[in-house]
């Protein structure tokens, strides 16, 4: 059975593998603080169905309690250790089983394994609060091994800590005209791809949200990262098939090990 990846926008994806639906960093809002959704319709009802939900870190565009509250009941929610203390709204969610995890943890869901791996990113719930929770990535292992990087910078031990993967969901941009430390832009994501050496990659975390009133400020940072990543990946990792999806589009990947 192939793995199917659907990109709903920003870092929100559905990974369907081994008859399990996995949802990453759900964000369904039209507006979040100073950001508004500029491309792609709000994800449909089917995006809110999941068996397990993976939250990579505590930033509001990745851990968004109102979006979590829209999910169909019964899902298991994996969050960085300390998240319920830092974000009390998590404790008020109904119909979800919240599990705190750290790098090295392994969670089994039927025939699926979820491995928790590290990320290089500031995992605090900004703009206030101490560094209470780690930023995480996840490797979903079923018929395929799919790496969801969350938000991360490039780090020396990335390939070693992530391990062998078949598919990589890599951030290639952001939600504003400038990326700070602890992020991948298109060029760094292509270098990460060369280290990870999966069979396929899907660029995410770009082209969805942008600050209100800043449409004319470095607009290429909003529109261009997906195409730029595909171009640079063809040079840095020519053996990897890059699938640049539109909002709501899916790709089915046959993986033969």
The tens digit of pLDDT for each residue in 203-255 reads 999 999 999 999 888 899 999 999 999 999 999 999 999 999 999 999 999 88
Read off the pLDDT band of 170 (50, 70, 90).
very high
The per-residue pLDDT for 254 is 86
The per-residue pLDDT for 225 is 97
pLDDT over 60 (residue 131): no
Structure-block tokens of residue 6:
């659907």
Segment holding 232, helix H or strand E: helix 225-236
The per-residue pLDDT for 181 is 83
pLDDT over 90 (residue 45): yes
Torsions phi, psi of 202, nearest 5?
A: -130, 120
The per-residue pLDDT for 127 is 60
Mean pLDDT of 68-91: 94
Query: What percent of the chain lies above the pLDDT cut of 70?
Result: 96
Query: What percent of the chain lies above the pLDDT cut of 90?
Result: 85
Question: What are the C-alpha distances in Å from 13 to residues 43, 75, 126?
Answer: 10, 15, 23
pLDDT over 90 (residue 1): no
pTM (2 d.p.): 0.96
Separation of alpha carbons 190 and 233, rounded Å:
5
Express each pLDDT in 8-38 by its tens digit.
999 999 999 999 999 999 999 999 999 999 9
DSSP state of 88: G
Separation of alpha carbons 247 and 8, rounded Å:
5
Q: Which of 153, 136, 123 is nearest to 59 (CA)?
A: 123
């Amino acid at each position: 059975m192939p793995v199917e990846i659907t990109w709903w926008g920003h870092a929100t994806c559905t990974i369907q593998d081994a008859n399990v639906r996995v949802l990453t960093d759900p964000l369904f809002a039209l507006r979040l603080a100073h950001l508004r959704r500029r491309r792609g319709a709000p994800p449909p009802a089917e995006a809110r169905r999941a068996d397990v939900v993976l939250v990579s870190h505590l930033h509001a565009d990745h851990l968004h309690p109102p979006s979590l509250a829209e999910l169909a009941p019964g899902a298991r929610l994996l969050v960085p250790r300390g998240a319920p203390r830092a974000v009390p709204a998590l404790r008020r969610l109904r119909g979800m089983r919240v599990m705190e995890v750290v790098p090295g943890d392994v969670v089994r869901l039927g025939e699926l394994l979820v491995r928790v791996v590290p990320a290089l990113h500031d995992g605090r719930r900004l703009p206030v609060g101490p560094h209470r929770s780690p930023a995480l990535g996840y490797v979903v292992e079923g018929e395929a091994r799919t790496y969801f990087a969350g938000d991360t910078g490039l780090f020396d031990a990335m390939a070693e800590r992530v391990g062998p993967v078949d598919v990589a969901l890599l951030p290639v941009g952001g939600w504003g005209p400038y990326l700070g430390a602890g992020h991948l832009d298109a060029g760094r994501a292509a270098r990460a791809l060369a280290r990870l050496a999966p069979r396929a990659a899907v660029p995410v975390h770009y082209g969805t949200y942008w600050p209100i009133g800043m449409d004319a400020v470095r607009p290429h940072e909003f529109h261009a990262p997906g195409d730029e990543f595909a171009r640079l990946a063809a040079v840095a990792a020519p053996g990897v098939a890059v699938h640049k999806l539109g909002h709501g589009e899916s790709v089915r990947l046959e993986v033969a090990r």
